Amino acid sequence: MITANRLTNEQYAENFSEIQQPFETKDAALTEANRCLFCYDAPCTKACPTSIDVPKFIKQIATENLKGSAHTIFVSNIMGAGCSKVCPVEKLCEGSCVYNLMEETPINIARLQRYSTEAAIKNNWQLFERKKATGKKVAIVGAGPAGLSCAHSLAREGVDVTIYEKEAKGGGLMTYGIAAYKVTPKFCEDEVNYILGIGGITIKYQQSLGKDFSIEDLQKNYDAVYLAFGVGLARQLSIAGEDLIGVEDAISFIYHLRTNPYSSTPVGEKVAVIGMGMTAIDAATQAKRLGAKEVTLLYRRTQEEMPCTEHELSIAKLDGCKIIWLASPKEILGNNGKVTHIVCDVMQLGNADASGRRSPKPTGETFTLEVDMIIKAAGQMPFQSLVTNNHLDNKDGKINVTNNTTTNIKGVFAGGDCVNGGKEVVDASQAGKDGAKAILNFLFYAKPQSE
């Protein structure tokens, strides 16, 4: 039975408290910082999509230059505080630490990054001085990581920025699409306010492209436009029974959790989560922490092909989630309009597909699970109609760009998930920087075309 308010307020508070704890003391942070070998040509920096100078910021922590450390991080990634909580660091900076080669514990780069960036936000250290206003105005669609990163980079150069955001708060994926035990709503709000603190950035909330304004409207009032509206349409399973009560997508499930009291989010007794990406893990673990008795993750490939990290998988396992590999949903069964069972094909792996992963195919066998809730987390799709209606060149809804940022419409640039189809927060932050660079070149350095 799907119900809300399964636990006490104390249990909700404990279950959704931050899973990654900060250093308890200054000495603990300094001890960890002094473990760093400060490598020349550091592999951790190379592994970071935003190219944060990791040895430098850790050295600054070790020498108790906390402001300098935060500046080193933010100059490369203004979303550095949030990324310290949500980045898959085991695949990036920490996974590249040379200590791994020595079979020792890698430097805890994420916690050190959190240590200095959270101090900056808490104390409101504005580490960048905005240049004199240039008189140029840029509109950005979307106040997520890509949009905020682009806005901050432009504002630093004296450009006035207006962000149009469809939600009531900024932060995008950080605010609405990530597990509550990774980043709290309060942190997301503080991070957005810190970024806006540089000045020259205005956010107009509850303004949707295609509903409240068009790209043509923005072009009339601004010198350039940057599109960073992300993705957000859940990929459908296209199987029988998908419309039964109790079947919902992970995006909506997590969104409800992030915008309402935990006690008001309904969850089933026996929950199946379809998928094995970060969103699937977030949905599964949060369903368990909401009070579900059984949560089973279903994935059509094996553990070797899963998109989530081993760290994320271990969280789900520690929370008591079950995993069935080589299982693909075939049909959803119900009674009186409500889901009761899910039928899955047993899969086997064939040859590698274009992505390099082996393609699954049915063996002919099936199995059936008793469930009262199914959460679909089989991927997200771009806003194809929105992109097409605004005359943007695209491929299956993903905006086509040249030089990482330039669309087919003059003066209109794009980046982040609406271009790449959905990557990490850190990738979106870098895309925002790339977008700002291209816009600045367009506004101030590009040669006008001859008549």
Radius of gyration of the chain (CA): 23
How many of the other CB atoms lie within 10 Å of CB of 399? 25
Q: For the chain, list the domains and their CATH numbers.
A: 18-123 (1.10.1060.10), 137-231+382-445 (3.50.50.60), 235-379 (3.50.50.60)
DSSP, collapsed to helix, strand or coil, labels residue 226 as strand
> 103-130: per-residue pLDDT in tens?
999 999 999 999 999 999 999 999 999 9
DSSP, collapsed to helix, strand or coil, labels residue 352 as strand
The arithmetic mean of pLDDT across residues 34-57, rounded, is: 97
Distance CA 279, CA 249 (A): 10
The arithmetic mean of pLDDT across residues 71-75, rounded, is: 98
CA separation, residue 246 to residues 107, 255, 300 (Å): 43, 16, 22
How would residue 342 be classed by pLDDT, with cut points 50, 70 and 90? very high
Does residue 420 surpass a pLDDT of 50?
yes
Distance CA 278, CA 417 (A): 15
pTM over 0.75: yes
Helices 26-33 and 54-62: angle between axes, nearest 10 degrees: 130
The mean pLDDT of the chain is 95
Amino acid in the structure at residue 69:
S
Does residue 317 surpass a pLDDT of 50?
yes
Least confident of 62-66, 112-116, 231-235, 436-440: 231-235
The 10 Å CB-count burial string (b at 16+, else e) for 337-371 is eebbbbbbbbbebeeeeeeeebbbeeeeeeeebeb
Element (H, E) at 66: helix 66-76
User: What local confidence, expressed as pLDDT, does residue 448 receive?
Assistant: 57
User: What local confidence, expressed as pLDDT, does residue 451 receive?
Assistant: 37
Least confident of 5-9, 195-199, 271-275: 5-9
User: What local confidence, expressed as pLDDT, does residue 36 receive?
Assistant: 97
Does residue 450 surpass a pLDDT of 50?
no
How would residue 358 be classed by pLDDT, with cut points 50, 70 and 90? confident
How would residue 69 be classed by pLDDT, with cut points 50, 70 and 90? very high
The pair phi, psi for residue 50, each rounded to 5°, is -100, 0
CA separation, residue 393 to residues 185, 200, 382, 388 (Å): 35, 31, 13, 7
Distance CA 284, CA 274 (A): 9
> 47-56: per-residue pLDDT in tens?
999 999 999 9
How would residue 57 be classed by pLDDT, with cut points 50, 70 and 90? very high
Cα–chain center distance at 201: 22
- On the CB side of 117, CA atoms within 13 Å amount to 28
Q: What is the largest CA-CA distance in the chain?
A: 70
Structure tokens at 71: 């500046």
> 7-24: per-residue pLDDT in tens?
999 999 999 998 888 998
Q: With pLDDT > 90 as the criterion, what percentage of the chain qualifies? A: 92
Element (H, E) at 259: helix 250-259
User: What local confidence, expressed as pLDDT, does residue 269 receive?
Assistant: 97
User: What local confidence, expressed as pLDDT, does residue 359 receive?
Assistant: 87
State whether the Cα torsion 16-20-25-26 is positive or negative: negative
**DSSP type of residue 25:** S
Amino acid in the structure at residue 397:
G
